[in-house]
Amino acid sequence: MPAEEIFIQATDTDPAVIARAAMREAHRRLRDRLAELTQAAAGQRPVADLVDFCRHELRDHLVVAERDLYAPASRVAETRLLADALRVGNAVLNHQINDLAVATASEAVRIATMIAGALDLYLRIEESAAPVLADLAGIDPSLVEADQQGVVDVRQIARGGRHPRVFARYARLAPGETFILINSHDPKPLRREFESVYPGAYSWDYLQAGPEEWRVRIGRVTADA
């Protein structure tokens, strides 16, 4: 076994431990962002950003959890019931997001608060159940939480590895799918690369433009020519 593949189980070098830490960090970001946008909406700011976050970034989380965790776990007898139970929480959140999308401004904060409560419970269960599902269903935990819930945060990646990581994530998209890029500066050079390599085939929408964090939703509009 190569030296870089050696790890001690249940320590910081264990891939399962690393994956669970990545899951908790991704969950923290979801909770914090939802709380921030709900508070802004309660302060009479437009609710469009709150709705956009729930319909895309939060829903991306639910889609990835279903695809990479619950679907494979439901094919194994020992984990089928647990996966189905988690799907109930997934469905509840999707229903609440649908309600938020058509809510009036006065109703949006109330529904967002309900989403926050359901999300917190759902994420706590997910954090507890994911290692069991991954172990019994034979799911690679590093894949379960890779690019967690459609978010690629490149701030901790060495500069030479950032663009390849983003393009690798883009390559996995089907037409109509998106992911969220998080960076510490405006990724204009990356956009120029996209325009050169995938002209007309990608979408690029700023969700947050600084001053300390940039968020861009990148999508595949069409199949590559």
Q: Using CA atoms, how far apart are residues 17 and 26, in angstroms rounded to an integer?
A: 14
CATH of the domain at 199: 3.30.110
Residues 161 and 141 in one domain: no
Low-confidence residues of the chain: pLDDT under 70 = 1-20, 22, 134-149, 158-159, 223-225
Last residue of a domain, one of 147, 174, 208: 147
Residues 114 and 195 in one domain: no
Tens digits of residue pLDDT in 110-121: 999 999 999 998
Residues 41 and 121 in one domain: yes
Residues 129 and 162 in one domain: no
**160 within domain boundaries:** yes
**pLDDT (0 to 100) of residue 139:** 59
Residues 173 and 85 in one domain: no
**pLDDT (0 to 100) of residue 78:** 80
Residues 184 and 140 in one domain: no
- Domain coverage including residue 208: 154-220
Residues 133 and 160 in one domain: no
Which amino acid type is present at position 155?
Answer: R
> Are the beta carbons of 169 and 111 closer than 8 angstroms?
no
Residues 81 and 140 in one domain: yes
Q: Using CA atoms, how far apart are residues 216 and 169, in angstroms rounded to an integer?
A: 14
Residues 127 and 160 in one domain: no
**3 within domain boundaries:** no
Sole residue written with tokens 């990479």: 68
pTM value is: 0.58
- Number of domains observed in the structure of the chain: 2
Residues 135 and 206 in one domain: no
Last residue of a domain, one of 147, 165, 188: 147
Tens digits of residue pLDDT in 140-169: 544 444 445 578 888 777 667 778 778 877
Last residue of a domain, one of 89, 122, 147: 147
Residues 158 and 142 in one domain: no
**pLDDT (0 to 100) of residue 146:** 46
Residues 133 and 167 in one domain: no
**pLDDT (0 to 100) of residue 138:** 62
**98 within domain boundaries:** yes
